[in-house]
Structures are given as structure tokens and as C-alpha cells.
Amino acid sequence: MLDVAFVSADLPRAGTLVLPLAEGAALSGLAAAADEATGGAIARALAAAEFKGAKGKTCVVLAPGAGLARVVAVGLGKVAEATPRHLEEAGGAVAAAVARDTEVAVAADGLDAAQAARLAAGAALRSYRFDKYRTKEKPEDKPRLTRLAVLARDPAAAAAQFAPLGKIADGVFLTRDLVSEPANVLNPAEFAERCRALSALGVDVEVMGPDALRELGFGALLGVAQGSANEPRMVVMRWNGGPDGARPVAFIGKGVTFDTGGISIKGAAGMEDMKWDMAGAGTVTGLMAALAGRGAKVNAVGLVGLVENMPSGTAQRPGDVVTSYSGQTIEVINTDAEGRLVLADVLWYCQKTFDPVFMVDLATLTGAIIIALGHEYSGMFSNNDELSARLAAAGVAVEEKVWRMPLGKAYDEQIKSPIADMKNVGGRPGGSITAAQFLQRFVNDKPWAHLDIAGMAWSSKDAACTPKGATGFGVRLLDRLVAEHYENAAGGQ
Ligand code: BES
Ligand code: MN
Ligand code: ZN
């Protein structure tokens, strides 16, 4: 991760100086000092570029004098609109603008400690890169920003504000790493090993293999797994930061490390994207790292169901009937609707074992949710208005938005089966909704929300705080949900 240091607000005499500027405001503090030291070169350049401080805009001034290699002005927009998220986005714009620089200082003397921390967090989030398999990239083509010095009015206060944000960014990066990793490397066993590493943060990690899952009776999950030479796992991660005995909040993730579709095989075009069909599980894992890393005062459990969906001589067939852990039977009409089969057993296990305050599951569950909502909102399905409202508000605050979709009896009827308790697909109409109806049959009336993140886990273009590729969507959203509503002296309620 980008090394962020908060230091006292002295004018640097070398390297790159970043000036965050509010819209329409005159240069002041360090910005004014830098302008004076360069004989007014900065103000002249900004005027010539008609830079006025509009949100997210940047203006680069080369070799302005006073020893500085570059000055990068970044617009904060109107001060009144400078929400924490806007400051993060400005930080993201800074990171993008100075990615090729080595020595960078940000003049944050005009910001308070919380604002300076947000700016730094945005820069850190944007500077993520998954380049472990790029062996031939020339050094001059690599980003060079490794350390960001934030020149702050009160460096200790800003550093204290940044500490939890840095831990959350660590969690986001873990999710992005997992989601980016190819499926020949990240199979269920390897994913479970990466979860085990969370024990260093104080997370209690339990890994169950095929024998334990058979013993429990996870017939739905095992049916998906049976076509693959890579054996399944379920991982239970527990963070006990709340009062002893307080009921936990629970997060459940779909972890299909590769989804070929199975016997109902997918087309070849774009199938490589199905390496990130474990993004729900990746988010749960990154979230647990974030909660533990920042020492969240909550009891939380994270459960991930890890399988590979392959066609083979041992794969399950369309028409097979499996018995889920709940005892309910399922006719598997389409082996490509595998995520709901995995989640069915993990959800049932979660509610039964932990009696959680709520369950939120995350899954790249349906292509249909991308048709409905594009890449702007995650679909949200829930049996609980309070939980839905809290998630929606958290989404707006952190810019990881969710849109509530309907559930209802008529949709549920689409998954009736003539031979079993239900079938695993309900036809094309409302495909994301019938998938959610299927899941609801395994939540046993616990407060629950299902986030279909198929459109959000991966991005084909850069965003303010998210380079293209794995986004880490959901970590900041759920961390925020917990921080706002479930972390208090009394613990969960
Ligand atoms: N993993 C896919 C859904 C998906 C599609 C995620 C595109 C990300 C991008 C899921 O397992 C799947 O195959 N769903 C089917 C369900 C259908 C068979 C009812 C789909 O969406 O086509
Ligand atoms: Mn599938
Ligand atoms: Zn899938």
C-alpha cells in the first residue's frame, strides 16, 4: 500500500507539491507561500489554464521554481460541498495525477485533520495496482508513487484520523487481490489459505473441507463442486470485537473461484470474466480484514462458500435433485445457476449456527442484474425495511450504491418444481428476483439482505478511487453499515 506520512506544514524545496484548492478561493497558507517562493509562477499558470478549483479538476505546473519539479493543483469544488467522499475523490485525482512522481507532498494545511485523512485515503485507494504477473514492464512505465507526505496543520491528529481509513483500504486491497487473481492460482483451497492469514489480525478462522461438508449434509454446495478436481471449502471467519456473548452481524459470500456454467456450459466469449465469480467471498474476506484491522467494536462472522463449477464426468446434470443442508430438496434445472446453490447451504448454516442480528450476502449472482441496473448500483433484495434503509444510506455515503428490488409471492411461484421442493431457476423474466426468492427460502426469516454485485465487482474503466479491474465494491459499504449502526457499547441489537 501507498506509504502515507503526515508531517508538519513546511514548504518543500524539491519534488512535486500538490495544492488542493477550493473553488474560487485565493491562494493561502502553503499554496501562497509556494506562489511567493516561485515569484508568482503558480498563480500565473493557474490563471492561464483557467483553473478555478472545480471538483476533481487538476492543473499541472512544470518547474515553477523554488526547487520544485512540479506543482499539481487539484480542485476541491465548493467548500460547502466538501463531504468526506468528495475529499477522497480529490485524493484519487491527486494519485492519478502524480502516479509517475516519486517524491510527492500534499499541502493539506487548509484542511482539518479529518479532511486531510480522507484526501490521503482516496489517494491510497486509487494507487492500487495488481501487477505481480507483469515481469517485463519497463521501470519507466511503472507507477513510481510509493510515499505520500501530507503537510498537515496537526500531523498527529490527521494520522489518528487516517489510521482506521488505512485499515479499511487494506481490506479493499485484499478483496481486489483476491478478485484479480486467476483461477488456476486461486482455487477453493488457496482461497481458504488466504482467509487463514486473517488470524494474524485476531480473526478466528475455521476451514471446512469436503469431508466436513458431507458430514453436515451440504448437498446443494457439494453438487456444484462435484464436477471439479479442486475440492470445495467453507471458511468461517469470526471477529469478536464486541461484548462477550453479543449476537454477531453476519456476512456471507459466493465464492465460485471459476464458473464455466458446468454441464449447462457458458459460451467461450468473455468466460475469462468468471474468474471473478468469487467476488462476494472476496468482499466478505476483505471486510473481515477491515473490521479486525481497525478493531471494530462488534462481533462479526464472515462465511464464504468456495467451489469451482466445472463440466466433467463427475459433474451434476440438469435434472438432478439435491438435498440441501436445510433439508429442502432442489431440482437443478440449470447447472449455471450455481451461486444460489452454494449460498443456500451457507446461509442456512449461518442462521442456524450463529443466530445473527442480520445476514447480508454478497454474490455475483445474475447477469440479469447488469441488464436491470448496469454498473451504477448493486441490486439489493431484503425482507427487512430497516436493514435496507441503512444499507441504502451507507451506499450513498461511501459512493457504493445499492438499489432495492422487489420480492414477492408471485415471483416465488416461478421456482416451484414438479419433482422437488423448488427448482434452481425461474425463467428469464425477473431473473435476479427469482434468484433472490430462492435464497430467501434459506434465511429462515432472519433479517437479511442480498446484494447482487455482478455489475459492480469489476470495472472496465478507471474511477476516482478505483483503478479499472477489481473494484473491492462492498467493503467500504458494509464497514460503514457496521460503524454507523452496530458498533456501540451494548454490541449488536
Ligand atoms: N456468475 C454468473 C452470473 C454473472 C454473469 C456474474 C455475468 C457476473 C457477470 C451466474 O452463476 C450465472 O451464470 N447466472 C446465470 C443464471 C441463469 C442460468 C438463470 C445467468 O445470469 O445467466
Ligand atoms: Mn453460473
Ligand atoms: Zn456464477
Q: Using one digit for the tens of pLDDT, what is the confidence trace for 16-74?
A: 999 999 999 999 999 999 999 999 999 999 999 999 999 889 999 999 999 999 999 99
Q: Which residue in 78, 194, 247, 266 is the catalytic one? A: 266
- Is the shortest distance between the CB of 366 and ligand 1 below 6 Å? yes
| Distance of CA 23 from the midpoint of ligand 3 (Å) | 46
- Three-state SS string across the chain, please? CCEEEEEECCCCCCCEEEEEEECCCCCCHHHHHHHHHCCCHHHHHHHHCCCCCCCCCEEEEEEEECCEEEEEEEEEECHHHCCHHHHHHHHHHHHHHCCCCCEEEEECCCCCHHHHHHHHHHHHHHCCCCCCCCCCCCHHHCCCCCEEEEEECCHHHHHHHHHHHHHHHHHHHHHHHHHHCCCCCCCHHHHHHHHHHHHHHCCEEEEECHHHHHHHCCHHHHHHHCCCCCCCEEEEEEEECCCCCCCCEEEEEEEEEEECCCCCCCCCCCHHHHHHCCHHHHHHHHHHHHHHHCCCCCEEEEEEEEEEECCCCCCCCCCEEEECCCCCEEEECCCCCCHHHHHHHHHHHHHHHHCCCCEEEEECCCCHHHHHHCCCCEEEEECCHHHHHHHHHHHHHHCCCEEECCCCHHHHHCCCCCCCCEECCCCCCCHHHHHHHHHHCCCCCCCEEEEECCCCCEECCCECCECCEECCCCHHHHHHHHHHHCCCCCCCC
Is a pLDDT exceeding 50 seen at residue 315?
yes
44 counts as catalytic: no
Q: What mean pLDDT comes out for the span 7-17?
A: 97
- Is the shortest distance between the CB of 444 and ligand 1 below 6 Å? no
| Distance of CA 361 from the midpoint of ligand 2 (Å) | 17
**φ and ψ at 488, to 5 degrees?**
-150, 175
Q: Which residue in 118, 254, 340, 441 is the catalytic one? A: 340
Q: Which of 75-84, 87-96, 235-244, 255-264 is predicted least confidently? A: 75-84
Q: Using one digit for the tens of pLDDT, what is the confidence trace for 117-135?
A: 999 999 999 999 999 999 9
340 counts as catalytic: yes
Mutate to test the pocket of ligand 1, among 366, 369, 425, 452 (most ligand atoms within 8 A of CB): 366
Smallest CA separation from ligand 1 atom 22, residue? 367
- Is the shortest distance between the CB of 338 and ligand 1 below 6 Å? yes
| Distance of CA 174 from the midpoint of ligand 1 (Å) | 24
pTM: 0.98
- Is the shortest distance between the CB of 431 and ligand 1 below 6 Å? yes
Q: Which chain residues have CB less than 5 Å from ligand 2, an ion? A: 259, 336, 338
Note the pLDDT of residue 140. Answer: 85
| Distance of CA 215 from the midpoint of ligand 2 (Å) | 26
| Distance of CA 307 from the midpoint of ligand 2 (Å) | 12
Atom of ligand 1 nearest to the CA of 428: 19
Task: Please compute, for residue 476, the number of CA atoms within 13 A of its CA located in the half-sphere on the CB side.
Answer: 28
Q: Assign 489 a pLDDT band (cuts: 50, 70, 90).
A: low
Q: What mean pLDDT comes out for the span 103-111?
A: 96
Q: Using one digit for the tens of pLDDT, what is the confidence trace for 446-486?
A: 999 999 999 999 999 999 999 999 999 999 999 999 999 99
Note the pLDDT of residue 492. Answer: 43
Question: In this structure, which ligand is nearest to the CA of 424?
Answer: 1
- Is the shortest distance between the CB of 369 and ligand 1 below 6 Å? no
Q: Which domains does the chain have, with CATH numbers?
A: 3-157 (3.40.220.10), 168-485 (3.40.630.10)
Smallest CA separation from ligand 1 atom 5, residue? 367
Q: Using one digit for the tens of pLDDT, what is the confidence trace for 423-452?
A: 999 999 999 999 999 999 999 999 999 999
Is a pLDDT exceeding 80 seen at residue 146?
yes
Smallest CA separation from ligand 1 atom 3, residue? 366
| Distance of CA 335 from the midpoint of ligand 2 (Å) | 7
